[in-house]
Amino acid sequence: MIKFFLMVNKQGQTRLARYYEHIEINKRTMLEAEVIKNCLSRSKDQCSFIEYKDFKLVYRQYAALFVVVGINETENEMAVYELIHNFVEVLDKYFSRVVSETLNLLFLS
């Protein structure tokens, strides 16, 4: 099961955050900071799956944008990895080019 979905730029700023389990606001901030730090610190040669606390992180990088999904331990990592890719492809088709500035415009309006 997906616990949360994050889109983050290279500077570590969250551009989109959706939670599918209740997490208090102050804990969300701490969770996002730790998750972002873990994902941004990894090199491109490292695996895109990270075991973190009681769940797994699956992430993909597209130019300056990171998409991170938190899942429980029973979820298939490769299926979520492909889900991320399909989601970004849909955004790319719909908005013609997915970049951080486009997402800023979307979620500020």
- The dotted CATH code for 2-108 is 3.30.450.60
State the pLDDT at residue 69.
96
What tens digit of pLDDT does each residue of 13-53 get? 999 999 999 999 999 999 999 999 988 888 888 999 999 88
| Mean pLDDT for the chain overall | 86
Percentage of the chain lying above the pLDDT 70 cut? 87
CB of 8 closer than 8 Å to CB of 34: no
State the pLDDT at residue 101.
58
- Give the pTM: 0.82
| Domain residue ranges in the chain | 2-108
Record the tokens describing residue 14, joined without a space. Answer: 């969250």
As a whole number of angstroms, the distance between CA 99 and CA 33 comes to 21
Residue 54: pLDDT over 80: yes
pLDDT tier for residue 97 given thresholds of 50, 70 and 90: low
Give how far the C-alpha of residue 12 lies from the chain's centroid of Cα atoms, to the nearest Å: 11
